[in-house]
Amino acid sequence: MVTNRNIARVIRTLTRLVAQWQEPVVGRYRDDPFTTLISCLLSLRTKDATTREASRRLFRLARTPQAMSRLPTRTIERAIYPVGFYRTKARCLKAVCRTLLERYQGRVPESLEELLTIKGVGRKTANLVVTLAFHQDGICVDTHVHRISNRWGYVTTRTPERTEMALRRRLPRRYWQIYNDLLVTFGQNLCHPTSPWCSRCPLTRVCAKVGVSHSR
């Protein structure tokens, strides 16, 4: 089981392990709050490879709220297809840009609380913007972070929201900004939702394997 007695070793092992793999697509836009925000919104319920290409096409057309707000919704739809719910997301992107222009003079707010007031921005997206773009402490919990944290036995929760709160109480703060990047990359490449590669995993001895019925 992963505990706070061995979490430092686990993080070091993951850092070495994930260096061999491509980072999640949203990480490509770190340091730029607007493109981080938009690529994260595109990534919801969408595979990373699809998000990567959709982000590339969209950002060739517009990389600021001003420019993106001027694009017709149909143009955004064509650029981001086939991301999940692409029509809904195109309208959402337009609305987000409008909010940024009307309330924040075209800038992305830095605080988690302000980001959560923007329609369409949930806790996962807000935490990712805070950590990647503004280098502030936050814990972004997506399906990989939720699954793996529970699989390890590090937390025992039923929803991503509860996982975030449990990690805020338990995970040492020095790991907050990197935790999502590490676990997402790990989850995409080795610790799969079904049939994870336990035989190849350097963490197999400390993993509680909660919910794992079959592995390779």
Asked if residues 65 and 101 have their Cβ atoms less than 8 Å apart, the reply is yes
Residue of 119, 128, 78 whose CA lies nearest to 97 = 119
**Where does the chain hold its CATH 1.10.1670.10 domain(s)?**
7-23+139-200
CATH says 7-23+139-200 is which class?
mainly alpha
Q: What is the secondary structure of 124-191 as a DSSP string?
A: HHHHHIIIIIT--------HHHHHHHHHHTS---SSHHHHHHHHHHHS-GGGHHHHHHHHHHHHHHTS
Q: Is 180 exposed, middle or buried (0-12, 13-18, 19+ CB in 10 A)?
A: buried
**What CATH architecture is 25-133?**
Orthogonal Bundle (1.10)
DSSP letter, residue 119? T
**Where does the chain hold its CATH 1.10.340.30 domain(s)?**
25-133
Distance CA 19, CA 33 (A): 24
Report the alpha-carbon angle 122-127-132, nearest 5. 130
CA distances from 187 to 86, 118, 147, 148, 149 (A): 25, 29, 9, 7, 11
What letters, b where the CB count within 10 A reaches 16 and e where it falls short, cover 96-131?
Answer: bbebbbeeeeeebbeebeebeebebbebbbbbbbbb
pTM here? 0.92
Distance CA 210, CA 208 (A): 5
Give, for all 216 residues of the chain, the pLDDT tens digit.
Answer: 999 999 999 999 999 999 999 988 888 888 899 999 999 999 999 999 999 999 999 999 999 999 999 999 999 999 999 999 999 999 999 999 999 999 999 999 999 999 999 999 999 999 999 999 999 999 999 999 999 999 999 999 999 999 999 999 999 999 999 999 999 999 999 999 999 999 999 999 999 999 999 999
Distance CA 18, CA 119 (A): 33
Q: Tokens 């149909």 correspond to what residue?
A: 74
Residue of 19, 32, 22 whose CA lies nearest to 133 = 32
